[in-house]
Amino acid sequence: MSEQGNKAAVGFIGVGLMGHGMAKNLVEKGHPLTIIGNRNRAPVEDLVGRGAVEADSVADLTRRSEVIFLCLPGSPEVEHIVGEILQAGVSGKIIVDCSTSNPVSTRALAARVAEAGGEMADAPLSRTPKEACEGALDVMAGADEALFSRIEPLLSCFATKVLRVGELGAGHTMKLLNNFLSLGYGALYAETLAIGARNGIDAATVRDVISGGRMDCGFFQTFMRYVADGDKNAHRFALRNAHKDMRYVASLANESGIASHLSSAVKNGYATAEALGHGDDYLPEIAAIIGRLNGVE
């Protein structure tokens, strides 16, 4: 990988809630950055103001970039964009998928990229848009050791914890396991609160009892900031994305021959929320949805 002034030229596709902060840190740390616009112009204009260049197409971005980061909603979007990158020519370039994607799709895409002379790694994220902006994300990367050593400095621009968790696809697998745990907690909290509300225990009391104990955690606290305090921006992760991630988890369990009693149940809870029209609502609002379905607030 050639470099310009010791800084790799980076392309970034997907400058949304997480991607904007990640891209901001890359350009602020001296990497020539090319981005592509979307319907929300605010992050694009902010990044251009910081020195990024806005490409007029995926092909234009690909030509300008040595390493291309993707931070997209899921595998269908990643498959579409990687197809466009391949058409533009990926020889000698690296694609790093930071989306929460299906590892089966990731491995298939990587084979196509390798055939065309490029390389691909998966490097999904943990934490929130706040940490993305601060450059303090956690990254779980799937790549061989040689490729990981080349992309680690770039990942460290927006992350303070960068772990290689295995070969290609391992990052997306670990991310799904991480999200299964967190989304499982979300479903558990929602049902717990509904049972409590029906029996005279309000959300503030549940928080007071759990806080500081063995079952407390950062996820519990952000979840309860919405439920108990009404802060709708406490945990900005859309319920449609929760449903999507749990579909991937249940699919991975099925493909692995694992009996998926819990993952399927958690998936169905988020599927219900999206089917009721709450896909754009944020994750903690699952508590209000489950409460209403049970006739409690």
- Active site residue ranges: 175
Residue matched to tokens 């490097």: 123
Write the CB contacts of 6 (distance below 8 Å, at least 6 apart in sequence). none
- Residue 208, C-beta contacts closer than 8 angstroms, at least 6 positions apart: none
Torsion of CA 22, 24, 27, 29, to 10 degrees: -80
For residues 13 and 70, is the Cβ–Cβ distance under 8 A?
yes
Distances (CA, A) of 282 to 241, 242, 274, 278: 9, 9, 11, 8
| Ramachandran region, residue 42 (left: φ > 0; alpha: ψ -120 to 50; beta: rest) | alpha
Q: What is the rounded distance in angstroms from the CA atom of residue 183 to the CA atom of residue 185? A: 5
Residue the block writes with tokens 């902060």: 21
Return d(Cα 180, Cα 175) in angstroms, integer.
8
User: Taking Cα atoms as reference points, which of 237, 55, 217 lies closest to residue 132?
Assistant: 237
Nearest partner of 177 among 105, 228, 229, 124, judged by Cα: 124
Token pair listed for 2: 């050639």
- In whole angstroms, what is the distance from residue 1 CA to residue 68 CA? 12
